[in-house]
Amino acid sequence: MQKLIIPLVAALALTACSSTERGAGIGAASGAVVGGVATGNIRGAAVGAAVGGVSGALIGHVADQPGRCYYRDRNGNRYVDRC
């Protein structure tokens, strides 16, 4: 029963968030899992959570802007423009 309650509470907590916040939360959670499994220690999980949170927030931010996508130019600079 406890295994069902924890994901349910986490899902309910994300329903009131914006797309950016939801993306950051999901990215941080999945990054922590991947980082922890890949390295086998807490430091890897923390780095994975940080990288996943930032990536998820960037992806969620674009989701708030319908018809907009992230692009990179040949110099590696990122910009938002119409899809």
Q: How far is residue 71 from each of residues 32, 49, 53, 77, 79, measured CA to CA in Å?
A: 26, 24, 20, 8, 5
Q: Using 50, 70 and 90 to split pLDDT, how confident is the model at 4? A: low
The model's pTM is: 0.54
- Domain limits at 51? 2-82
Query: How many domains does the chain divide into?
Result: 1
Q: Using 50, 70 and 90 to split pLDDT, how confident is the model at 12? A: low
